A and B are shown apart, each in its own frame.
Chain A
């Protein structure tokens, strides 16, 4: 990848400064970042959320979001200064010479038009091609991106294709005018590992084939290692370091970069099941469940013992969260039963006693929607304590302080604040505190770390681990991130299409031989090796990745 001849500079950003408007003040959020990009080169921008990755990506198109402005520096694209260009001049560039691929393809496509109609819009608008030519070109691109039925798929509507296909269609759309530069803003973050791999392969191929320059924005190092020629690490609007991918992976210079690498090293010793005939805290036995007529769970059984973490993994739509809904009683199962400490639970949460409800708590994926934005922190945490234990006055306050201490937040500082004032990680901690307030024995963690940055996520995992040791909690850990599973799980349950494919202790699960589906999941997790993608593709054959995988 690296030994390309020196090509002419396409994008030259010098000392870029961007300000954001908040609290009636302009605050600088990007503090003088410079980058150069040559033709055909792929630059990876990585950093935590709030590092200014997307803002810089948009600035490369001469665009600043609402409430942001480019306050200094220059953005030179192929000899043209973008910061001083008029909107009309920029509009001509966008779509035709610079294209943008957004994180959520589902939200970026117009649901009322077919894919191909949206694809040909730009070429028609710039009068580069006639409609039929543009459509033929679209089909060709679909074929190159290995979309199934390239002749036909374009005439479907966005909701008729899967998430991974949609993301590839979006990449095809970005290529429609053969731009010189494409900005990929976290194109695979919202996808499963198995789908991610096919989108990555498609993007890499097409960028190679057309010799397009690209800026690849992500927070996942392993992903960027596959895509980029060189990597730039950002922290809070400042550049930390920049070097070629191989150099960066082998010899990171800065402490911060090394800490990003170290994240995946958190691991705790695996616990074995208590021997003899210990009664599991939760035992799911032959559970079937359906939404209306559609059957979503088929004969699901597993046990969770006290003090242990059981990770439930699988792609989206595999029934992980539905299982959790069955256990909590939100979705009464159509067959089978759920035992709690050996006693059968009533199927619906409405018929459960207060104590049964107290024992099983839940932590949600999106802390934003899991905490009421108009209720103060101490009320959010205090309510379960008040509700179940009847605490009030000074006792309640003491309990809330104790809980805030447990989740490592300073009580006096957070006691009276509202959720929107907190960061994502802090919100998730409050969610944990709310679950703990009920004094449960079992907690369901539904993708608790997937919306968080790696460093923050690691903090949450460590906290959960600490709480488990102190309070002897049992966790059901729902996730699609196998790195998290490796870090925290004692036992693993692999689910696919509503069925348990394989289950067992983590050690066994991570050592071959696996069930073919487990194997597929495991091998789809990106690794820090720049040649990983190529190796996987070679092993599986180009057409045997993701949804098309033959297992």
Chain B
């Protein structure tokens, strides 16, 4: 028994007692079950296991604190209407927004932040971390940290372009199908079915090997693969709106389809579409990272998280976590975007007038 272990249990038990005394049921249950779990884990895993738990709890508390502060910050700097909406954001969403904000800064100011160029060879292959290289070197001796910073720009930027394109194609087709109906709707629906029936990764690999791998082709192919999902959602959402009386009134007035889409349908379907945009972004992002991992996405020497995982994959057999860092960056962004999307979905579902 040392002071850490004694302090650890004393803190947990004291906190649970306080929670119980002030009638905070859920907090008490959480703290006390953690105490009981710690007993078991402490006996099995020893002091180091307790340290792990402490570190995890600390990291969680730190993220929660950051998220809380970030939300307050956003509420203070934004306008009245936005502030009101932001106040309803749960901590997870605030955390997601913070992560997205960090990635955006990373991508936009990459040349300023990164200590070395993305294709600059500065040491031997797989050199360990030192004073100049925060995370060590990759298989060609390029600075890992710099490449991750540049990767944010390339991977995220590309995914954003592809998602936007997919979105414009899918949403426009969906709105048109819902407004026009009839044969046009049928034809578009069946085309979407055909595209969706082919496994996306295999379809992408096939098309990329036919048309060659350059960035524009990549963006267009990914956009085509993902637009049917947007098409379906938009058509379903718009389908509920076109039966409303105000659409009928506009039609009887003699309005054209473009006016109907732009002025009457689109303003009423933005909430689910924005939520879908976030979800699509994650999928597109993962697909591009996957393609890069397979060697058909973004081509070297451009830094990209997917190909970085592949290039450094051999290191994992030496017990190094370096290849996991770009993978972690992908995972963190995906989770963050999903947190924000969840909140938006909740808003669009629950706060309808």
Q: Which A residues form the contact surface with B (CB < 8 A)?
A: 328-330, 349, 352, 354, 357, 361-362, 364, 366, 369-375, 383-384, 387-388, 420, 434, 438
Question: Is there an interface contact between B252 and A434, defined as CB atoms closer than 8 Å?
Answer: no
A362 to B251, CA, bound (A): 12
CB of B244 within 8 Å of the partner chain: yes
Q: Which residues of B contact A375 (CB under 8 A)?
A: 263-264, 267
Q: Give B69 Cβ to nearest chain A Cβ, in Å.
A: 22
CB of B80 within 8 Å of the partner chain: no
Q: Give A421 Cβ to nearest chain B Cβ, in Å.
A: 9
Question: Is there an interface contact between A371 and B246, defined as CB atoms closer than 8 Å?
Answer: yes
A387 to B353, CA, bound (A): 29
Q: Whose C-beta in chain A lies nearest to the C-beta of B269?
A: A374
A372 to B245, CA, bound (A): 9
Q: Give B182 Cβ to nearest chain A Cβ, in Å.
A: 12
List 7 A–B pairs whose Cβ atoms lie within 8 Å, in order of A's numbering.
A349-B251, A357-B252, A366-B245, A369-B246, A371-B246, A372-B246, A434-B249
Q: Which residues of B contact A371 (CB under 8 A)?
A: 246
Residue from B253, B254, B268 within 8 A of A372 (CB atoms):
B268
Q: Give A141 Cβ to nearest chain B Cβ, in Å.
A: 38
6 other A-B residue contacts (CB within 8 Å) besides A362-B249, A374-B267: A349-B252, A349-B254, A370-B244, A372-B263, A373-B268, A387-B255
A124 to B251, CA, bound (A): 53
Question: Is there an interface contact between B246 and A370, defined as CB atoms closer than 8 Å?
Answer: yes
Q: Which residues of A contact B268 (CB under 8 A)?
A: 372-374
CB of B320 within 8 Å of the partner chain: no
A369 to B240, CA, bound (A): 11
Question: Is there an interface contact between A387 and B253, defined as CB atoms closer than 8 Å?
Answer: yes
Q: Whose C-beta in chain B lies nearest to the C-beta of A329?
A: B252
CB of B248 within 8 Å of the partner chain: yes
Q: Which residues of B contact A387 (CB under 8 A)?
A: 253-255
- Interface members, chain B 37-77 (any A CB < 8 Å): none
Q: Whose C-beta in chain B lies nearest to the C-beta of A366?
A: B245
Q: Whose C-beta in chain A lies nearest to the C-beta of B247?
A: A372
Q: Which residues of A contact B267 (CB under 8 A)?
A: 372, 374-375
Please list the 5 inter-chain residue pairs (A to B) with the smallest Cβ-Cβ separation, ordered nearest first. Answer: A374-B267, A370-B245, A420-B353, A372-B246, A364-B245
Quick one: CB contact mask for B248-280 with A, threshold 8 Å, 1 for yes? 110111110000000110011000000000000
Q: Which residues of B contact A370 (CB under 8 A)?
A: 244-246, 249
- Interface members, chain B 235-249 (any A CB < 8 Å): 244-246, 248-249
A375 to B245, CA, bound (A): 14
Q: Which residues of A contact B252 (CB under 8 A)?
A: 328-330, 349, 357, 361-362
Question: Is there an interface contact between B253 and A438, defined as CB atoms closer than 8 Å?
Answer: yes
Q: Whose C-beta in chain B lies nearest to the C-beta of A374?
A: B267
Q: Which residues of A contact B254 (CB under 8 A)?
A: 349, 352, 354, 357, 387
Q: Whose C-beta in chain A lies nearest to the C-beta of B243?
A: A369
Question: Is there an interface contact between B353 and A373, defined as CB atoms closer than 8 Å?
Answer: yes
A361 to B248, CA, bound (A): 11
Q: Which residues of B contact A374 (CB under 8 A)?
A: 267-268
Q: Give A399 Cβ to nearest chain B Cβ, in Å.
A: 16
Q: Give B25 Cβ to nearest chain A Cβ, in Å.
A: 15
Q: Which residues of B contact A349 (CB under 8 A)?
A: 251-252, 254
Q: Which residues of A contact B249 (CB under 8 A)?
A: 362, 364, 370, 434
A197 to B209, CA, bound (A): 74
Residue from A361, A369, A372 within 8 A of B264 (CB atoms):
A372
A448 to B251, CA, bound (A): 20
Q: Which residues of A contact B251 (CB under 8 A)?
A: 330, 349
Q: Give B184 Cβ to nearest chain A Cβ, in Å.
A: 15
Q: Whose C-beta in chain B lies nearest to the C-beta of A420?
A: B353
A384 to B252, CA, bound (A): 11
Q: Which residues of B contact A329 (CB under 8 A)?
A: 252
A375 to B267, CA, bound (A): 8
**Are A384 and B253 CB-contacts (below 8 A) given A372-B268, A375-B263?**
yes
A383 to B264, CA, bound (A): 12
A361 to B254, CA, bound (A): 12
Question: Is there an interface contact between B264 and A357, defined as CB atoms closer than 8 Å?
Answer: no
A354 to B267, CA, bound (A): 26
Q: Which residues of A contact B248 (CB under 8 A)?
A: 330
Q: Which residues of B contact A384 (CB under 8 A)?
A: 253
Q: Whose C-beta in chain A lies nearest to the C-beta of B244?
A: A369
Q: Which residues of A contact B245 (CB under 8 A)?
A: 364, 366, 369-370
- Interface members, chain B 110-168 (any A CB < 8 Å): none
A373 to B263, CA, bound (A): 11
A228 to B263, CA, bound (A): 50
- Interface members, chain B 260-306 (any A CB < 8 Å): 263-264, 267-268
A533 to B348, CA, bound (A): 47
Q: Whose C-beta in chain A lies nearest to the C-beta of B254?
A: A357
A354 to B255, CA, bound (A): 10
A361 to B244, CA, bound (A): 16
Q: Give B112 Cβ to nearest chain A Cβ, in Å.
A: 41
Q: Give A468 Cβ to nearest chain B Cβ, in Å.
A: 21
A361 to B253, CA, bound (A): 8
Q: Give A57 Cβ to nearest chain B Cβ, in Å.
A: 25
Q: Which residues of A contact B244 (CB under 8 A)?
A: 369-370, 372
A349 to B249, CA, bound (A): 11
A434 to B264, CA, bound (A): 15
